[in-house]
Amino acid sequence: MSSTYHTVKIDGIPVGVPNVTTKGTGYYISYNNYDRGVFGCDTTAIVIDKTSAFLILNGDHRGPLTGLSLEDACQYFHDRPELKNFRSDDHQDDILREVDGKWVMVRI
């Protein structure tokens, strides 16, 4: 587990905000309990290494996701549609595919 920082502006002033991240195989888990104004609540994102896809669930899912394969982590996400955050990149019909040498989420 580690912390990373992203920058937000508060009253026009850039401020570093920590995210708690845990590395998985082919992805990492990013827990954010700070940007509630942006996401509406605490969130946990499955961030797929080969894409910029953020599969975002409402709440803290670090425990259940830790140690899962990428496929199982994506299945965990898809099995909880009621917890999908409105800012999440993925949809039930999207899958990870290599297109023109880049990994992207595509609609099947």
Residue 77 per-residue DSSP state: H
The candidate with the shortest Cα–Cα distance to 74, out of 59, 58, 94, 60, is 94
Residue ranges in the chain whose pLDDT is less than 50: 1-3, 8, 10, 15, 17
Distance CA(75)–CA(10), nearest Å, equals 36
Q: Looking at residue 89, what is its pLDDT?
A: 78
Across all residues in the chain, what is the average pLDDT?
75
- Which residues lie closer than 8 Å to 42 by C-beta, 6 or more apart? 31, 32, 33, 36, 58, 59, 60
What pLDDT is stored for residue 93 in this prediction? Answer: 54
